[in-house]
A and B are shown apart, each in its own frame.
Chain A
Amino acid sequence: MIVEAKSAAPPTEDERRLRAPWRSVEIAFWVLAAAAYLLLPHQLPLLAQAAIGGLFALSVDLLLGIAGVMSLGHAAFFGIGGYVAGLLAQSGWGEPLSGLVAAGLVAGGCGFLSSFLVLRGSDLTRLMVTLGISLLVMEAANRMTWLTGGSDGLQGIDVWPIFGVWEFDLYGRTAYVYALGVLFACFLLVRRVVHSPFGLTLRGIKGNPRRMSALGTPVGRRLVGVYTLAAALAGIAGALLTQTTQFVSLDVFGFDKSSEALLAVVLGGAGTLYGAIVGALMLMELETLLARITPEYWQFWIGIAFMAQALYARGGILGFTVRLWTRLRRGVAAPSRTAP
């Protein structure tokens, strides 16, 4: 089988695969997302929300789909980011971009500190610790009425125009461009990280932490890194929500926020990055649709969707499509591995 005369150097094909160059589908995805501005002018507020949900889900995917860390409390960081941006704007500094940065830094800092508590023990312990911490944070926010406005939420959030030029408008045009731009920037970062040596290590940890430490990798420290990054991204997503809706309430900390992000990731296909965004979009559409049909009891059907997903569609929709695609075009690599 193997030909005798081998070239001394690896084929450039190897390099191409490891480099994970942009593929046409990916470019098409972002072009389409940008085109939605023109194509779906009435949907823009909703699409902005979807982009924010997509960013939050992306941070969960980085954690779950890439590094294999399961969290039931990621909304804690989303909420922290949301309140940081809200409090900044309320106290007179409404500049949006610096608000995002501040939110990301604070949420990332909280993520870093809590990571030492979270990243021990088994999956089950992690699920409970993350859940417990997010409940603690929510309860704290609930008690600190003087700071957070308690159950009424933060009032009087005034966000300045972006770059001092583009005012947030009623039709959600600015909001969509802003949210999509931030999502894209964060996506670039995550994509870079996933296909870097650090990202490869994370995928290795997901696959087999035991072997990773035998290879010389301090597994705990790598996970602290990715947990911090994921928390910062979640914080940015939360800040985006506050800035685009000019409002933030305790809902941002909710257990349903955390679990819906998990669902979005699994729905779209864990570990694929795009899956998280597509999943969040689909979940949002589904919720809007259900809310229109049964305004009070849509949660019932969401619950059913969770259950069906767990039972029948492992690997997610994008995972399924990617598998199909690879099967059709054997030999052409998928953008990254799909979940097992």
Chain B
Amino acid sequence: MLTVLFDGIATGALLFLSSVGLSVTLGVMNFVNLAHGVFAMTGGYVAVVLLNRWGVPFLATLPAAFAASAGLGVVVERLFYRKLYDAGALEQVLFTTGLVFAAMAAAAFLMGSQHQIIQLPAFLAGQFHLFKGFDLGVYRLFLIVFCGCVALALQLVLSRTRFGSRLRAAVDNATVANALGINVGRLFAVTFAVGCGLAGLGAALGVEILNLDPSFPLKFLVYFLIVVAAGGTGTISGPLLASLVLGICDVAGKYYVPDIGAFIIYGVMVAMLIWRPHGLFGRRAVR
């Protein structure tokens, strides 16, 4: 029971890292970005290649994964997404769906279609004996602590820095922020890149827990969307809470009622959207 809870929290922590960036693109920039998983997947594969083929230490692969995903994010945003900000949701759907398909095929071509396996470093491999019948995997503990730190850092950046206050202003009302001399476009570009980087980081950290394979972007699309939908936009705590709940539901569902596992998740998603059809995506509806 406690183990399930613990695993769920660890999965939720990973989901949080992977999806927090999407709450900005989808919720704030009103861009229907169905390809968020592509950026996450990129980070995951970069970590796998570095670790397994080139023998780079696990911890050193993490910044590389972040950088790779953020870099890809910058390129794609500057080259393509920017052109579609003013287009309808339909064009955005088509483009990002296409990106998902192309990325899945490319990943299968480059990396093969199997699940990736990584060799965790020794210091993450053990168990942490807390009390009788309750052992904590060090790896999962590490994940939780790590993601907790990231969440805290994000919260501090958002509430304490100049960048954070500008972003909050832009989230509140992009037009007004623009009029106040804030370069909203650049602000969003930076945020987008960081969001992609975090997604890559999440996937790199959780290669095995998340079952990294070429279908990753599609598989996790729904999870990401749920986090954004339930967590709302403009805060860190919203997506965090939503991720944890989702992670726990997911793990518990697979553990206790394996027959209807995925059912629960999709059911929860649909129910939630029906419960709050309007208030989910920030203030402005898409066109």
Instruction: Return the CB mask of B78-108 against A: 1 if under 8 Å, else 0.
Output: 0010011001111111110111111111101
Contact A135:B222 (CB < 8 A) given known A125-B281, A302-B101, A304-B98:
yes
Distance of A123 Cα from B281 Cα, bound (Å)? 11
B1-60 contacts to A, CB under 8 A, are: 26, 30, 32
B131 sits at the interface (CB 8 A): no
Q: Contact size class for A?
A: 35 or more
Q: Give chain A's interface residues, CB within 8 Å of chain B.
A: 64, 70, 72, 117, 120-125, 127-129, 131-133, 135-136, 139-140, 143, 255-256, 259, 262-263, 266, 270, 296-311, 314, 340
17 extra A-B contacts, CB within 8 A, seeds A72-B93, A307-B94, A314-B91: A64-B90, A124-B89, A128-B269, A132-B266, A143-B263, A266-B94, A297-B105, A297-B106, A297-B109, A300-B101, A301-B102, A302-B98, A302-B101, A303-B100, A306-B102, A310-B91, A340-B88
Q: Give chain B's interface residues, CB within 8 Å of chain A.
A: 26, 30, 32, 80, 83-84, 87-95, 97-106, 108-109, 218, 221-222, 225, 229, 259-260, 262-263, 266-267, 269-270, 273-274, 277-278, 280-281, 285-287
B104 contacts A299, C-beta separation under 8 Å: yes
Cβ 8 A contact of A122, one of B93, B218, B266, B285: B285
Distance of A115 Cα from B80 Cα, bound (Å)? 34
Cβ 8 A contact of A262, one of B94, B100, B273, B277: B94
Distance of A300 Cα from B281 Cα, bound (Å)? 31
Q: Which 8 A-B pairs have the closest CB atoms?
A: A306-B98, A303-B102, A303-B101, A121-B277, A300-B105, A122-B285, A310-B95, A307-B98
Distance of A167 Cα from B168 Cα, bound (Å)? 67
Contact A310:B87 (CB < 8 A) given known A122-B286, A128-B273:
yes
Instruction: Give the chain A neighbours of B286 by CB distance below 8 A.
Output: 122-124
Distance of A169 Cα from B281 Cα, bound (Å)? 52
13 pairs, CB–CB < 8 Å, chain A vs chain B? A122-B286, A125-B277, A127-B93, A131-B221, A136-B266, A140-B263, A262-B90, A297-B106, A299-B101, A299-B105, A304-B98, A307-B94, A314-B91
Distance of A24 Cα from B95 Cα, bound (Å)? 35
B262 contacts A139, C-beta separation under 8 Å: yes
Total contacts A-B at CB 8 Å: 147
Instruction: Give the chain A neighbours of B30 by CB distance below 8 A.
Output: 124
Contact A310:B84 (CB < 8 A) given known A122-B281, A255-B218, A299-B101:
yes
Instruction: Give the chain A neighbours of B108 by CB distance below 8 A.
Output: 296-297
B99 contacts A303, C-beta separation under 8 Å: yes
Instruction: Give the chain A neighbours of B26 by CB distance below 8 A.
Output: 124
Instruction: Give the chain B neighbours of A259 by CB distance below 8 A.
Output: 93-94, 97
| CB-CB nearest in chain A for B102 | A303
Instruction: Give the chain B neighbours of A304 by CB distance below 8 A.
Output: 98, 102
B101 contacts A128, C-beta separation under 8 Å: no
A314 contacts B105, C-beta separation under 8 Å: no
Contact A121:B273 (CB < 8 A) given known A70-B93, A297-B108:
yes
- From residue B276, how far is it (CB to closest CB) to chain A in Å? 9
- From residue A293, how far is it (CB to closest CB) to chain B in Å? 13
A306 contacts B89, C-beta separation under 8 Å: no
